[in-house]
Amino acid sequence: MSQRIPVIVLGGTGYVAGELARLVLGHPGLELAAVASDSQPGESVAGAFPHLAPALGDLAFCPQDDAAALAARLPRSAVLAAAPHGVSAALIDALLSRAEAAGSHPTVVDISADYRFADPGAYAAVYGHGHGAPARQPQFSCAVPEHLAAVKTPHVAHPGCFSTATLLATVPLLALGLIEPRVFVSAVTGSTGAGRKPGPGTHHPQRHSDLYSYNGLAHRHGPEIAALAQAATGVAADIAFVPHSGPFARGIHATVQATLARPMQTADVIDALRQFYAGRPFVRVLDAPPRVKDVVTSNYAHLSAVADGRTVAVMSVIDNLVKGAAGGGVQWMNRLLGFEETAGLTAPAPGWT
């Protein structure tokens, strides 16, 4: 019998759920036990993710209720959740309540925004609706894995993709006291950041061969980045965040600029970033500007920086669906389950996607 830990994926036919399934199928210590879907229960999972067909066999999507019943039956399981925000909190709460009533204690990593804020009021202020399961919020920590050494909660919420790219650049600058606490972020995402369902503003034909900003200084990830930067560093920084749509499907490029607290040059900042991320295998600090293609489909983040004595700019690239979502989620799950943090995640980017 397999000693692998069974994994239940929530988020069905979504892009992140597909990436979670792909990563779990290649993981040495996990096995894909179920993928729950609202819209396609009973349908073949390979129908939604044909690229995974060779590894999926005849696995069919299950209803949410079956996923909760499975979590209740299994003495030990991992739940990787990628449902939409506003939905995820209640789905996870229902699954955990049923499992706990049966004496089971699944470990959850949520990739939606629902458990990223510790406080229900902060969540409601950003999302404009009440939290779906406020009593569960204290059971979740939220941080980029590289920024939280010890987790004291049973479950984790992974920060969003824009937040991950921005925080990887911002947190060292604040934690080391290198900058004034006023940070300007310009970040560009690929079209998969908007999920599978096309909308007038998010459909790839509208986005390819074009570049434009949206929700400048008013995007929901602005307050999330500020709250998570403060949690990681203790510094209350002002974050001015302007997201952009880029002409590619996968990846994020974030440029973080700030005024230096003391005169530093490019080599000084690069050296400080290298020291900050020493021993963190997924974060690589380069001398040259990082490129999206070098990380796409991988769990690696590449950073670099320039400084002119007065101003610093740190450039950060990640894959939005992997390091910014499914890969970061598996990285957290590895830690929560006691695996090597890198298990199943070390494949480099193909480079020519």
Ligand X SMILES: NC(=O)c1ccc[n+]([C@@H]2O[C@H](COP(=O)([O-])OP(=O)(O)OC[C@H]3O[C@@H](n4cnc5c(N)ncnc54)[C@H](OP(=O)(O)O)[C@@H]3O)[C@@H](O)[C@H]2O)c1
User: What is the contact surface with ligand X in residues (CB under 6 A)?
Assistant: 11-17, 37-40, 82-85, 87, 91, 111-113, 160-161, 192-193, 195-197, 320-321, 324-325
Closer CB to ligand X, 82 or 169, in the complex: 82
- The distance of closest approach from Cβ of residue 235 to ligand X in the complex, given in angstroms and rounded to an integer, is 25
- The distance of closest approach from Cβ of residue 161 to ligand X in the complex, given in angstroms and rounded to an integer, is 4
Closer CB to ligand X, 172 or 193, in the complex: 193
Closer CB to ligand X, 10 or 229, in the complex: 10
- The distance of closest approach from Cβ of residue 212 to ligand X in the complex, given in angstroms and rounded to an integer, is 18
Closer CB to ligand X, 141 or 257, in the complex: 141
Amino acid at position 12, single letter: G
**Neighbouring C-alpha atoms within 13 Å toward the C-beta of 201:** 8
Q: Rounded to whole angstroms, what are the CA distances from 293 to 209, 248, 286, 352? A: 16, 10, 14, 7
Closer CB to ligand X, 11 or 106, in the complex: 11
- The distance of closest approach from Cβ of residue 113 to ligand X in the complex, given in angstroms and rounded to an integer, is 6
- The distance of closest approach from Cβ of residue 41 to ligand X in the complex, given in angstroms and rounded to an integer, is 8
Residues annotated as part of the active site: 161
The closest residue (CB) to ligand X is 14
